[in-house]
Amino acid sequence: MPQVMEFKLPDLGEGLTEAEIVRWLVAVGDVVAIDQPVVEVETAKAMVEVPCPYGGVVTARFGEEGQELPVGAPLITVAVGAQTLPEAPAAEDGGSGSAPRPLIGYGSDHSRPARRRRVRPVTAEVTAAVVPAVAAATAVAAVATGPVAVISPLVRKLAKDNGVDLRALRGSGPEGLILRADVEAALAALRAPAPVAAPASPAPQGERIPLKGVRGAVAEKLSRSRREIPDATCWVDADATELMAARAAMNAVGGPKISVLALLARICTAALARYPELNSTVDLAAGEIVRLPSVHLGFAAQTERGLMVPVVRDAQNRNPESLSAEFARLTELARAGKLAPADLTGGTFTLNNYGVFGVDGSTPIINHPEAAMLGVGRIMPKPWVHRGELAVRQVVQLSLTFDHRVCDGGTAGGFLRYVADCVESPAVLLRSL
């Protein structure tokens, strides 16, 4: 007799507590293999296919597409143990079978992506073995998730006679069972005199968009940044003509192309080595400033799902070529909606190139819990005094928003001035290496 196993929404990591069902990949009655993705969910950070640790026949699904589920809520039940189910691959420790294992893409193993497998159709033998388990699980699911959990016909009649909608009640009995006392309490509430309320102001008209998913996560993080961080912004115009000429010379010799963002990132890591106060975070609970040893550089990437900030790990150890390749890789994953939650967290400093939108300047909001963000406007020809004469030069505006708790204006100004000097004369960077 197959054993019915319940698979719950796993902890997707990085403090995420819920996920929205985007698309079911299996239906009730389908045969699934171990580690086969069964549902696609959207968290506040990424779109993720969730693999099931059991192999067998799907007996129930919980939740509809578009519904948000908390971590730990049931996703599906699987009947495990029929002799003709797809064979599970041997575990890495030499074992086999359908015991729960760390989900691919979660936990300590991020090296193997979740994969789809071809599954065999359900045979007559499998159907005969599994149908009783399917029926039992479906009955349980109907009781647990049905619109009304009522057993007593007297309770139903009492509610019907008095116009009480049982679907609006939450039962106080076992597993949410609606009792006579629940209906009587609802009746008492209905018969109580309604309080006199002030006339409500008319609700604003227009399209309503749920503030959830990526948009909700961005809203929460930016609001928290404004609440907790006393930020300040300084800015400077810089002549980027020499930087653009250096990039053209580097790309003229062949090999992978170097992006402007990569050059600016390399300048940032050198500046943070000189001004480590800006590569830090504030521990409010301990009342301490924590200076961080590595630069995990976030960069803003606009996608169809909204603004994302992928993180380049240990950016201080990368050259412009390596930075260009990593920026390109993470940007492609972001636009395809395939970034893992770990790719979007852990940043220590953010580089925001809003010049790609055709604007000159901005006052960036710090990406909490970081301490600073460098904003870069568009690089464009402008009149500029160069060597005592008026000339047309490639000019860019640089903006630094910083947490005033971690440093004063002198440190922030020194950081920004060093960045501008490297932009105007890349040789300054070479001398500091």
- What is the DSSP secondary structure assignment for residue 146, as one 8-state letter? S
Task: Pick the catalytic residue from 109, 165, 283, 408.
Answer: 408
Residue appearing with tokens 């799907």: 58
How far apart CA 34 and CA 408 sit, in angstroms, is: 56
Longest dimension (CA), the chain: 96
Is 283 exposed, middle or buried, given 0-12, 13-18 or 19+ CB atoms closer than 10 A? exposed
The whole-angstrom separation of Cα 380 and Cα 322 is 26
- DSSP state letters, 174-211: GGG---HHHHHHHHHHHHSPPPP-PPPPPPPPS-----
Residue bearing tokens 């996703």: 75
Residue 225, SS3 per DSSP = helix
Residues in the chain: 433
Report which of 237, 232, 371, 402 is spatially closest to residue 296, judged by C-alpha positions: 371
| DSSP label of 238 | E
Q: Give yes or no: 231 in active site.
A: no
Contact between residue 73 and residue 62 where contact means Cβ atoms under 8 Å apart: yes
Q: Catalytic annotation on 404? A: yes
Contacts of residue 146, defined as CB under 8 A and 6 or more positions apart, other chains included, come to none
With contact defined as beta carbons under 8 Å apart, do 137 and 4 qualify? Answer: yes
Cβ atoms < 10 Å from Cβ of 166: 18
**241-252 and 409-424 are packed helices; what angle lies between their axes, rounded to 10 degrees?**
50
Catalytic residue among 368, 386, 404, 421: 404
**Strand stretches in 222-336, DSSP E:** 231-239, 280-283, 288-291, 297-299, 301-303, 306-308, 311-312
- Catalytic residue numbers read 404, 408
